[in-house]
Amino acid sequence: VEAGSGSGGFTCFIANIVKKVHSFDIKQENIDLTKENCKNLKIKNVVFKKESIYNTKISVSNADFDIT
């Protein structure tokens, strides 16, 4: 689970490490930019959600990120 997709740099980085990324952002332009960057890098394991993680209970369960 990632909060704030921005330009997608971190999203694309972690998408190459984990099975699936759930990327939350409140700005559609950030989501669109990150989607385009993922498309250009042939990354297909990112799910985008236009939601604030502060104002809502996130709609993802059983999330885990461990790179040990």
Quick one: average pLDDT of 62-66? 60
Give the integer Cα–Cα distance in Å for 32 and 51. 14
Which tops the pLDDT comparison, 38 or 3? 38
Residue 68's pLDDT band, with cuts at 50, 70 and 90, is very low
pTM of the model: 0.80
- Reduce the secondary structure of the chain to three states and give it as a string: CEECCCCCHHHHHHHCCCCCEEEECCCHHHHHHHHHHHHHCCCCCEEEECCCCCCCCCCCCCCCCCCC
Which tops the pLDDT comparison, 49 or 33? 33
Which tops the pLDDT comparison, 60 or 9? 9
Give the integer Cα–Cα distance in Å for 10 and 54. 20
Residue 67's pLDDT band, with cuts at 50, 70 and 90, is very low
